[in-house]
Structure 1
């Protein structure tokens, strides 16, 4: 029988080199497992619906929706990464050193591509609201496809370069067996922070603030015009609230994104290279944003609600279903 000391180790057979498990109450572990499992299932399911909807329906093949498709793909894979957090509830990594490095590579690629896609979405919204007359000529589906492809390619290339030393000798930075730590040099870390976090977040915030200001000013101008027309006895018209509604929608999405990203950004900037389990709460908060994105689509986009009905009712399997009007 195992002694109490052996039961507290990740690998009892390695008494001298094994890490210790994180002590948690059984009820807490069960609750965390249920929460993470729910997040994983919802993230995979909802984002898969977004992917199917935009890919299948020709009407949705717009520039903006192609960006949402890229974001949904990254969020879809995030749903699977949450499974690894479930395995780390006791603070031990059981999948080996090589799998640890591969997990971190996938994690970094998805995170970087997601951040860069959010930048493209903010640029798309900025041009659509602040320069609508030139939107169709400046933001074309072909340019969007090229931008999305470059985002994913650049993310993969950069992450592979900074992780190559960890691939050569997986686990060399682990203090004990059952730990999962990857480390890259200071230059790569600085580039990662500047080009994948600080700069993108700054661009996103500046553009969305500009979008919100322009949308509000346009709405106020429209209201003033309608009020003046009504006083003169002209035909009554209804004020269009699309600009303000769009600004509010974008505001909610970006706030949720920043709430999920900032703790992870803080952890990276401060250089807290600890075992994965010690920072799992930060990662889970970032991952949860991937579940929130399609939920916000359900709340704000009628076309997505119609697509969900088509998918659930299996009408999307019918012939010529790609021509269905969901506008």
Structure 2
């Protein structure tokens, strides 16, 4: 019995709280397979989006450029962040080396925050397109879009570099994932981080998407209240279907965003550095968002079905 208790810890110095994995072999293997599939599918879907938009010049629009940059960020999540975090969480005894911890956390913060920034930019782009359609071509150009994309990446790089200094423990030898990431931070630092990383983006996204839905619904009613529906009776049905489809799409976007991002920031705000490793599985929720993004932002577009078919059939 004593040997079993001793085996629960990575190091037998009496000071470490790093415990070895206690899951059964079947659960352990199943989780590795599950996260590996998530990583592979994330890479495949985002790579398909990148090739589609990059190869076909007809798709080089401001909105698609935002989707392209978002796909690059999500591709890095699937290619680097998900596999590395899987090993870090599934292997509580740190096996990735002394300097890999800050690199892992910085890459994770950078990819997820830049992905979040792209969601904000896409919501702004759609808001201008729906609410100011006549001014959209002059206001939203390729040059301005690339500028916004560059600013988003630069801000993410700088902000995450500052955040990593306060979030990663580099003062003591790293022996487990908890010692790598969960360090005690000032309460106001957590508040400011949550406002910048969660509250502000979520408020912008939700507000703009609600505004988009209201304006689109109002425009639809104005158009079909002027007799168009009586002349073309089929259009009334089409308008209702279009309205329901728009509502469904926006609901999926907002719901996916909230489900993936709110839990991890709520846990970080409520709990301190004493949070156990089981709560760290919430880290994967924002990463899964990178798996869902290409489905929402690309698969809902008719052009993607055409380009994906041409690419997969090598035509």
Q: Secondary structure at the match of 2:170?
A: coil
1:246-325 aligned within 5 A:
246-274=246-274, 277-297=277-297, 299-315=299-315
| Per-residue CA distance 1:52-101 (angstroms, 9 max, x = gap) | 11122111111101111121111111113111233122433321332111
The residue aligned with 1:4 is 4
User: How many Å separate the matches in 2 of 1:266 and 1:119?
Assistant: 20
The residue aligned with 1:209 is 210
Q: Which moved more, 1:197-206 or 1:244-253?
A: 244-253
User: How many Å separate the matches in 2 of 1:30 and 1:247?
Assistant: 40
The residue aligned with 1:323 is none
Contact 2:66 2:121 in 1 (8 A): yes
Query: Once superposed, what is the RMSD of the aligned Cα atoms?
Result: 2.7
Q: Secondary structure at the match of 1:46?
A: helix
User: How many Å separate the matches in 1 of 2:119 and 2:94?
Assistant: 31
Q: Secondary structure at the match of 1:300?
A: coil
Q: Secondary structure at the match of 2:235?
A: coil
Mind listing any 5+ residue stretches in structure 1 that lack a counterpart?
316-327
1:23 pairs with 2:19: no
Q: Which moved more, 1:202-211 or 1:21-30?
A: 21-30
| Displacement after TM superposition at 1:46 (Å) | 0.5
User: How many Å separate the matches in 2 of 1:163 and 1:298?
Assistant: 32
| Per-residue CA distance 1:226-255 (angstroms, 9 max, x = gap) | 46643xxxx666356456644532331222
| Per-residue CA distance 1:157-204 (angstroms, 9 max, x = gap) | 11112324677x725396x55642254555543332222211111111
| Displacement after TM superposition at 1:224 (Å) | 2.5
Contact 1:85 1:280 in 2 (8 A): no
Q: 2:235 aligns with which of 235, 238, 245?
A: 238
Contact 2:182 2:275 in 1 (8 A): no
- CA distance change for structure 1 residues 228 and 30 in 2, over 3 Å: closer, same or farther? closer
The residue aligned with 1:67 is 66
Q: Secondary structure at the match of 1:133?
A: coil
Q: How many residues align?
A: 306
| Displacement after TM superposition at 1:25 (Å) | 2.3
Q: Secondary structure at the match of 1:132?
A: coil
Q: Which moved more, 1:83-92 or 1:181-190?
A: 181-190
Contact 1:94 1:178 in 2 (8 A): no
The residue aligned with 1:94 is 95
Mind listing any 5+ residue stretches in structure 2 that lack a counterpart?
none
Normalised to the residue count of structure 1, the TM-score between the two structures is: 0.83
User: How many Å separate the matches in 2 of 1:199 and 1:166?
Assistant: 21
The residue aligned with 1:224 is 225
The residue aligned with 2:41 is 42
Normalised to the residue count of structure 2, the TM-score between the two structures is: 0.86
The residue aligned with 1:103 is 104
| Displacement after TM superposition at 1:300 (Å) | 1.4
The residue aligned with 1:324 is none
| Displacement after TM superposition at 1:313 (Å) | 1.5
Q: Which moved more, 1:101-110 or 1:297-306?
A: 297-306
| Per-residue CA distance 1:213-235 (angstroms, 9 max, x = gap) | 111122222332346643xxxx6
Contact 2:114 2:156 in 1 (8 A): yes
Contact 2:46 2:71 in 1 (8 A): yes
| Displacement after TM superposition at 1:138 (Å) | 0.9
